[in-house]
Amino acid sequence: MALDPKGPITQLHGVGPQLAQTLAKLGLHRPIDLLLHLPFRYQDRSQVRPIAGLNVGDEALISGQIISTRVIFGRQRSLELVVRDVSGEIRLRFFHFSKYQQAAIERSNYIQAFGSVRFFGNKLTVSHPEYQTFAEEPSAPTPDLTPVYPTTQGLGQQRLRKLCKQICALPWPDVAGAPYATLQALHAPTDLESVPALQEQLAIDELSAFYVLMKGRALKRNQERATALTESSPLAAQLTANLGFTLTAAQQRVADEIAKDLAKPLPMLRLVQGDVGSGKTIVAAFAALRAIHNGGQAALMAPTELLAEQHAQNFRQWLEPLDIQCALLTGQMSAKHQREGLAHVADGTAQVVIGTHALFQERVTFHRLVLVIIDEQHRFGVHQRMSLQGKGGHPHQLVMTATPIPRTLTMTLYADMDVSVIDELPKGRQPITTHTVSQDNRAKLVERLHRVLQSRQQAFWVCTLIEDSDEIDAQSAESTLAALTQALPEHRIALLHGRMKGDEKVALMQAFKRHEIDLLVATTVVEVGVDVPNATQMIIENAERLGLAQLHQLRGRVGRGNLASRCFLLFKPGLSAAAKHRLNAMRESQDGFYLAEQDLKLRGPGDILGTRQAGEESFRIADLSVHAHLMPRVIQRSEALMAADEHSAAAAELQQLLEMWAPADDRHLNV
Ligand code: ADP
Ligand code: MG
Q: pLDDT by residue (tens digit) across 55-109?
A: 988 888 999 999 999 998 878 889 999 999 989 999 999 988 888 989 999 999 9
Q: With 50 as the cut, is the pLDDT of residue 667 above it?
A: no
The answer to whether the CB of 487 falls within 8 A of the CB of 442 is no
Residues 308 and 396 in one domain: yes
User: Do 126 and 250 lie in a common domain?
Assistant: no
Q: Does residue 133's CB lie within 6 angstroms of at least one atom of ligand 1?
A: no
* Ligand 1 contact, 294 CB (< 6 A): no
Q: Check whether residue 453 and residue 309 sit in a common domain.
A: no
Tell me, yes or no, whether 619 lies in a domain: no
Per-range mean pLDDT, top range of 25-29, 334-338, 423-427, 534-538: 534-538
CA of 311 to the centre of ligand 1 (A): 12
Most confident region among 249-263, 453-467, 599-613, 639-653 by mean pLDDT: 249-263
> Domain tally for the chain?
3
The pLDDT value recorded for residue 451 is 96
Is residue 658 a part of any domain in this protein? Answer: no
Could you tell me the residue range of the domain that residue 355 belongs to? 235-422
Q: Return d(Cα 489, Cα 491) in angstroms, integer.
A: 6
Nearest CA to ligand 1 atom 19: 279
Please tell me the distance between residue 451's alpha carbon and the centre of ligand 1 in angstroms. Answer: 28
- The reply to whether 37 falls in a domain is no
Do 412 and 438 belong together in one domain? no
Ligand 1 atom at minimum distance from 251 CA = 23
For residue 147, the cross-strand partners are 42
Answer yes or no: do 396 and 444 share one domain.
no
Tell me what the mean pLDDT of segment 492-497 comes to: 92
Question: Is the beta carbon of 277 within 6 A of some atom in ligand 1?
Answer: yes
| CATH code where residue 300 lies | 3.40.50.300
Give the model's confidence band at 348: pLDDT under 50 very low, under 70 low, under 90 confident, else very high.
very high
Q: Which of 422, 443, 467 is the last residue of a domain?
A: 422
| Distances in whole angstroms, Cα of residue 612 to Cα of each of 25, 593, 608, 617 | 19, 18, 10, 6
**Residue 462 shares a structural domain with residue 317:** no
- Is 175 domain-assigned? no
Same domain, 402 and 495: no
At 607, the pLDDT band (50, 70, 90 cuts) reads very low
pLDDT at 612: 34
Q: Is residue 482 part of a domain?
A: yes
525 and 458 fall within a common domain: yes
Q: Is residue 598 part of a domain?
A: no
193-197, 205-209, 255-259, 408-412: least confident range: 408-412
Tell me what pLDDT residue 377 has.
67
Task: Let me know whether 365 and 451 are in one domain.
Answer: no
Q: Is the CB of 592 under 6 A from ligand 1?
A: no
Q: Is the beta carbon of 403 within 6 A of some atom in ligand 1?
A: no
User: If 0-12 CB within 10 Å is exposed, 13-18 middle and 19+ buried, where does residue 156 land?
Assistant: exposed
282, 407: one domain: yes
Per-residue pLDDT for 666 more than 90?
A: no
Query: Ligand 2 mean position to 373 CA, how many Å?
Result: 12
What is the atom index within ligand 1 of the atom nearest the CA of 247? 23
Give me the mean pLDDT over the 614-629 stretch. Answer: 68
Smallest-distance ligand from the CA of 374:
2
Confidence of residue 472 (pLDDT cuts 50, 70, 90): low
Does the pTM exceed 0.75?
no
- Evaluate if residue 615 carries a pLDDT over 80: no
Which residue has the CA at smallest separation from atom 10 of ligand 1? 277
* Residue at 500 is within a domain: yes
CATH number, domain at 80? 2.40.50.140
572 and 511 in a common domain: yes
Give the pLDDT of residue 636: 94
Asked whether 671 and 219 are in contact (CB, 8 A), the reply is: yes
Atom nearest to 533 CA in ligand 1? 14
- In whole angstroms, give the CA distance from residue 73 to residue 80: 11
Residues 255 and 283 grouped into a single domain:
yes
Q: Tell me what pLDDT residue 618 has.
A: 62
Of 81-85, 462-466, 628-632, which range is least confident?
462-466
The sign one gets for the Cα dihedral 461, 467, 470, 471 is negative
Confidence of residue 474 (pLDDT cuts 50, 70, 90): low
3 state DSSP class of 395? coil
- Of the three residues 574, 589, 604, the one that is the final residue of a domain is 589
Ligand closest to Cα of 306 equals 2
CA pseudo-torsion sign 449, 453, 459, 463: positive
Decide: 559 in ligand 1 pocket, CB within 6 A. no
Among 75, 108, 141, give the residue marking a domain's end: 141
pLDDT at 387: 54
- On the question of pLDDT at 157 being above 90, the answer is no
Residue 122 lies in a domain: yes
Pick the most confident of 1-15, 137-151, 565-579: 565-579
Tell me how far the alpha carbon of residue 513 lies from the centroid of ligand 2, in angstroms.
16
**φ, ψ of residue 662 in degrees (nearest 5):** -65, 140
Q: How far is the CA of 280 from the centre of ligand 2 (A)?
A: 6
pLDDT tens-digit profile of 366-402?
999 999 999 876 655 444 555 555 666 789 999 998 7
